[in-house]
Amino acid sequence: MKLAQNLFEPAISQISAEHINRPSTTMMQDAWRRFTLNKLAMAGLVTLAGLIIFAFIGPFIIKYNYYSNDLMNTYLPPSWIHPFGTDALGRDSMARLMYGGRVSLAIGFVSVLINLSIGVFYGGISGYFGGRIDNVMMRIIDIIYSVPDLLYVILLMVVMGKGGLLNIMIVLGIVNWMGMARIVRGQILALREQEYVLAARTLGASTARLMLKHLIPNALGPIIITSALAIPSAIFMEAFLSFIGIGIQPPFASWGSLAADGRLNIPSYPYALFFPAAAIAITMLAFNFVGDGLRDAFDPKMRK
Amino acid sequence: MAKYLLQRIASAVLVLWIVVSLTFVLMHSIPGGPFSREKQVPEAVLKNLEARYHTNDPLTKQYIDYMVNVAQFNLGPTFRYEGRTVNDLIKDGLPKTATIGFLATIFALGGGLLLGSIAALWHNKTPDAVATFIATIGISVPSFVMATFLQYYLGYKLGLFPPVGWNEGAWRNLVLPSLALGAFPIAQITRLMRTSMLDVLNQDYIRTAKSKGLPGYVIIGRHAMRNALLPIITYLGPFFAYILTGNFVVEFVFGIPGIGQFFVTSITNRDYSTIMGMTVLFCSLLVVFNLLVDIAYTFIDPRIKLTSQKGA
């Protein structure tokens, strides 16, 4: 009997047992998938998108601007011509609310970006080096924490000259980074003991590479969550500054300054306070829902 | 314990010194002085004023003088209120601020713990939704808006409580300010309590307690509550900071002559001694509160030791 030679070749499996059939999902894709399943968080995200469209695209659609006075038509109640009414100088409240939204949202995002950069840098260094450096850096944070932050916000605002948009962003950014620094430091401190960091170090990775490629990406979840929750608190803080008169100065507006203006005539014109207050409240809710959703998405262990 | 306390007090003094120095530097880097008004003061008067308040001394001397005075609890004369010292302002204002703060604390803690527990015990049912709704409103409205709404609706429209004024601390005048001040923390505490209570209720020892046949109030009161309280205690530090600084808004809206008002006006007035005095006062209060919170930990959770033990 003659057997074909090829029958005696060892069978080599084309597909190894370890082979992964499906394309692998990155951490981000995984988190996004969980996030989209969360109805409340998605509602928050959609609301945020709506607010951003309202604030940034709305002014192109509406026929009023935020600064033209119309002294014959002050404090009009909401109507078809002026959907949110007019203010003390006859300016259209809806237009002002849109422009105010630009300012408030921009303050929220930019100040958190500043907060994020300082916090990640500071916390990263503190956590990475550990030991005495960490100790000193964390004591400094403890000291800053023991000062009521409003005190420093007010002082810095007065030092930097009140009212400038950029000044407000910078001040809110440099006052609020401590929480972020603490969280990043805690993460890095735990991550740097992991085997893959040791492996990378053995392969000769530089400190900068370790930080940027290995440590910070793995701490990204908590960083994103903290940022999402820091934005509404920055908007809140700006509202407070406007309330005490060192925030955005007229004719410019923010939701906070509109609410502060509306407050003054509340017995006669309650709607002047209602709309900006509602805008702030909706933004807060949306960010909080998104923040909570992010927390669940990045940290499935937290979920029940 | 004694050693720990000494350590903490020493570090508190250090913190206060740094903070006061930092405020001193910041304050003096603001353009304009306490006597620069819109109406120009005559040269000779200005000279006299500066000599009287020692603002023409070199900064280092002013700094050292101030530090020596602060160490003796003397916060110096105010620049703005003729013939009064910062100590006077604090003596007059602090009891009022403290009253509101205390009531707001009771309201926020009591209400928050209650609402949070209710929400957790009736998880995903109507009471949960109601409590969550209240909590959501509290965190989503700025305090000055909340204060104004309370003042307008409960005070002005419905006339339940006087909308403004201190009125020698009559209880009806205290209700609205305390509610306004407590609105934000009550929301935070409710959220925290709900999460931590839900967490605790799923623990094995709660099931054990149930299967032993313990009555519900014992399970909740002795087993669930005590353990669920821990995250709340961590929040108490920021909470007191909020009550301290949040007072400004509330005092302003309701016209209460506390110390919160000086917090802001003294900065815009360049009233150096008042702002420094406020910084010292607020920071010391905060440091003391934080220390108390840390000590409270050990009472509620015997597992936490303040002093690190060898081998533990």
Comparing alpha-carbon positions, the chain B residue that sits nearest to A278 is B141
Residue B311, pLDDT score: 36
B278-312 pLDDT, tens digit per residue, is 888 888 888 888 888 877 777 777 776 655 443 33
Which chain B residues touch A if contact means CB-CB below 8 Å?
15, 18-19, 23, 26-27, 29-30, 136-137, 139-145, 148-149, 152, 156, 198, 202, 241, 244-245, 248-249, 252, 263-264, 267-268, 275, 278-279, 282-283, 286-287, 290
Residue B274, pLDDT score: 82
Contact criterion met (CB < 8 Å) for B267 and A288:
no
Are B295 and B28 spatial neighbours (Cβ–Cβ below 8 Å)? no
Task: Please give the model's pTM, rounded to 2 decimal places.
Answer: 0.80
Q: How far is CA A179 from the centre of its chain?
A: 13
Residue B310, pLDDT score: 39
Q: What separation in angstroms does the CA of A195 have from each of A24, A27, A185?
A: 22, 19, 18
Q: Kindly state the tokens that stand for B58.
A: 């070199």
Comparing alpha-carbon positions, the chain B residue that sits nearest to A235 is B142
Rounded to the nearest integer, the mean pLDDT of chain B is 80
Give residue A114's pLDDT band: very low, low, confident or very high (50, 70, 90): very high
What is the mean pLDDT of the segment spanning B136-157?
Answer: 84
| CA nearest neighbour of A98 among A137, A149, A70, A64 | A64
Residue carrying structure tokens 């702030």: A280
ipTM of the shown complex: 0.77
Contact criterion met (CB < 8 Å) for A143 and B287:
no
Q: How far is CA B253 from the centre of its chain?
A: 17
Residue B36, pLDDT score: 64
Q: Higher pLDDT residue, A89 or A175? A: A175
Comparing alpha-carbon positions, the chain A residue that sits nearest to B30 is A159
A148 and chain B: CB distance < 8 Å anywhere? yes
Query: What type of residue is B286?
Result: L
Contact criterion met (CB < 8 Å) for B144 and A243:
yes
Are A183 and A222 spatial neighbours (Cβ–Cβ below 8 Å)? yes
Q: Higher pLDDT residue, A77 or B113? A: B113
Give residue A110's pLDDT band: very low, low, confident or very high (50, 70, 90): very high
pLDDT of A3 > 80? The answer is no
Residue A304, pLDDT score: 42
A118-154 pLDDT, tens digit per residue, is 999 999 889 888 888 888 888 888 777 777 777 778 7
Q: How far is CA A196 from the centre of its chain?
A: 30
A136 and chain B: CB distance < 8 Å anywhere? no
Are A133 and A93 spatial neighbours (Cβ–Cβ below 8 Å)? no
Residue A117, pLDDT score: 92
B11-59 pLDDT, tens digit per residue, is 888 888 888 888 788 777 776 666 666 666 777 777 777 777 777 777 7
The whole-angstrom separation of Cα A107 and Cα A112 is 8
Please list, in sequence order, all residues whose beta carbon lies within 8 angstroms of the beta carbon of residue A137, skipping any fewer than 6 positions away: A122, A125, A126, A185
What is the mean pLDDT of the segment spanning B94-101?
Answer: 87
Q: Kindly state the tokens that stand for B177.
A: 């300010």
